[in-house]
């Protein structure tokens, strides 16, 4: 965990869609929560299960090196990522984005906004 000031500095430099080469370092519960990715920063990266293929056998395994894009970052000191490689994305990604994040194409390239503190139940 980094100091809040360091996290604010890192987050300030992030842009939606920014690509990092990362290494999958942990797949704690395949099919259940997502994967942890080392992208070479002092904070970790994470791909949520909702962005990954339905079948966990199709997820990138520990040790896989691939490109990942910044999907979100908030006060949790973790960079939320999406795989750049469509093999590692849910099969209906376009429909998912249209329904849950229709502003994604306009967000790409924009600075990650500070959404404020995370609610205690998140």
- Name the band, by pLDDT with cuts 50, 70 and 90, for residue 116: low
pLDDT band at 115 (very low <50, low <70, confident <90, very high): low
What residue ranges do the domains of the chain occupy? 4-96
What percent of the chain stands above pLDDT 70?
A: 93
**SS3 of 116, please?**
coil
pLDDT of 122: 45
For all residues of the chain together, what is the average pLDDT? 92
How confident is the model over 46-54, as a mean pLDDT?
Answer: 96
Q: Check whether 119 has a pLDDT greater than 70.
A: no
**pTM: predicted TM-score of the whole model, two decimal places:** 0.89
CATH number of 4-96: 2.40.50.140
Per-residue model confidence as pLDDT tens digits over 93-108: 999 999 999 999 999 9
Beta strands in the chain (DSSP E): 19-26, 34-38, 44-48, 65-73, 78-83
């Amino acid at each position: 965990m980094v100091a809040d000031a360091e996290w604010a500095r890192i987050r300030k430099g992030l842009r939606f869609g920014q690509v990092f080469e990362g290494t999958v370092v942990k797949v704690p519960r395949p099919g259940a929560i997502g994967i942890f990715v080392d992208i070479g920063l002092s904070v970790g990266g994470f791909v949520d299960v909702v962005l990954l293929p339905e079948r966990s056998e199709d997820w990138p395994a520990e040790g896989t090196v691939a490109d990942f894009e910044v999907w979100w970052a908030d006060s949790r000191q973790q960079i939320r990522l999406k795989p750049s490689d469509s093999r590692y994305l849910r099969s209906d990604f376009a429909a998912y984005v249209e329904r849950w994040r229709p502003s994604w194409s306009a967000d790409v390239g924009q600075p990650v906004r500070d959404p404020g503190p995370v609610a205690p139940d998140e």
